[in-house]
Structures are given as C-alpha cells and as structure tokens.
Chains A and B, each alone.
Chain A
C-alpha cells in the first residue's frame, strides 16, 4: 500500500466549476498535510497546509482534513484554465521529510 494515494486523473472540469481533489494516507500518526501545485516543467509550489480536522479556506481554495478517515481533500472553486496543473498531496509524519502522492492532473476546460 502506498503511503499517500491520489487518483492520477486527469480530472477535467469546465471553467467556473468546482474541482475536487482527494488524497488518502496510511500512517495514522501523520500530523501535517499539504497541497502543492506543479505546472509542467516547474517545481512544486505550496498552496495550502492543514493541521487539524475540518476545513481551511484560502481564497478559492479549501482544504479538508478528516484524520479518522485518513483523508485530505482540496476544493478549487470557480476553476480557471490557469489552475490546470498537477496537484500533489504531501504528508508529514514526525521528523521525516514530506511524503508525496503521485499527483492528480487537473484540466480546466475554457
């Protein structure tokens, strides 16, 4: 079982719609969770972090965490073509470096 799992996609949504990206993790003691956006040929860029159960909103982005279900999600409201990228879920456990999922490719259709 992979430590951090994501659907590889592509996830295709029309412009203006809500994009929902999901991630599950295997280690129950993981304490910090992050979403990165990676454009093709670029390095990952942090867009959201979440540390406690519930929702965290930042502009058009909402991260959701459910530690009991070991589940993290990212919602992107009013999706724009510029949101088209690969979204990486990352999990931090203890002193270890981040563990990344394989990423979900999002395509926002104009």
Chain B
C-alpha cells in the first residue's frame, strides 16, 4: 500500500482565514480523493483530485470554498477558504486505483474559532 503523508496534522484557525492541506504520496497513484469527517460522523467525499485538470466536486461542495490542486501523480492540496466554525472537521486525503480499496493519510484536524 502507498505511504501517504498529510500535513498539517492539526490546526486552529481564525474564522475568515484559509488553510491549505497538503497530501504527498510515495508512489504515483491514479486516484486521489479528499474527504471530510465532521465530529461523530462518517466520511463525506468532497472531491476527486484530477491530475492536470480541475477537480470533480460532489454535491454540496464548490471550488470557491474548497479549491484543490493536483500538479502531478503524487501530490495534491486542499484549501479550506473563508473558514467558519462549521468547517471544523477532520479532512482526509485518500488514494486508490480504479477498482480497489482506498488508503488514507493520517488526517488534518481543523478547528475554526
């Protein structure tokens, strides 16, 4: 399985600011995804990060709020923009292939105050 490094592991941010989360994989992977896990909830897919093109967002998530970059097959970033307390969650990067399981980074615990 791929080794996924995600940073920062946690952060406390002021409302109205933005935070960029980085995800680095130790091998080239086809698929990279960003999930959100709100307190006590399961994982919700934010978007699929596409290499060299715009991310594919799920219903309820928009590029202006969650811009995503994927400049190559081993790296992606997720920015949480203009944060509010409702954005306090764990954000998870995951990687996988077309037909198989997904592996997760250690997550970023975000608290917005």
Q: 1/0 per residue A35-64: CB within 8 Å of B?
A: 000000111111001000000000000000
A102 contacts B103, C-beta separation under 8 Å: no
Interface residues on A, range: 20 to 34
Residue from the list B102, B105, B106 in contact with A97, Cβ < 8 A? B102
A90 to B98, CA, bound (A): 15
- Of residues 40 to 80 in B, which have CB atoms within 8 Å of A's CB atoms? 41-45, 48
Number of chain B residues whose Cβ lies closer than 8 Å to a Cβ of chain A: 24
Number of A-B contacts (CB under 8 A): 52
Residue from the list A32, A42, A43, A100 in contact with B42, Cβ < 8 A? A100
A34 contacts B101, C-beta separation under 8 Å: yes
Given A44-B43, A103-B42, the answer on whether A98 and B100 have CB atoms closer than 8 Å is no
17 extra interchain contacts, Cβ-Cβ under 8 A, other than A32-B100, A88-B42, A88-B43?
A32-B101, A34-B101, A43-B107, A44-B104, A46-B101, A49-B101, A90-B101, A92-B99, A95-B98, A97-B31, A97-B48, A98-B102, A100-B44, A101-B42, A102-B41, A102-B42, A103-B42
**Lowest 10 CB-CB distances: which A-B pairs, in order?**
A43-B104, A102-B42, A100-B43, A43-B107, A97-B33, A100-B42, A97-B45, A34-B101, A49-B101, A103-B42
